[in-house]
Amino acid sequence: MIKKSIVAVLISSTVLIAQNSAQINLNSNDIEIEGEYQTGQSFDYDGRSSRNYLQARYLYSGDSQTGNENLGEIGYLATGTIGSFTRLRLGVGIMVSLADNYVAVPLGLTARYQIPVEWPVSLYAALYAAPDPLVFSDGKGYNAYRLGVESKIIPNASLYGGYRNIELKYENNRKDFNDGWYVGVRFYF
Q: Domain spans of the chain?
A: 2-188
Q: Give CATH for domain 2-188.
A: 2.40.128
Q: What is the pLDDT of residues 123-171, one digit of tens each?
A: 999 999 999 999 998 889 999 999 999 999 998 999 999 999 999 988 8
* Nearest Cα to Cα of residue 150 among 180, 110, 112, 123: 123
Q: Write the pLDDT tens digit of every residue in 27-77.
A: 888 899 999 999 877 766 555 678 899 999 999 987 656 567 899 999 999
* pLDDT for the residue 11: 47
pLDDT digit string, tens, across residues 86-122: 899 999 999 999 988 899 999 999 999 999 988 899 9
Query: Which residue in 159, 177, 186 sits closest to 67, CA to CA?
Result: 177
Q: What pLDDT does 18 receive?
A: 37
Note the pTM of the prediction, 2 decimals: 0.84
Cα dist. 127→13, 138, 180 in Å? Answer: 23, 22, 15
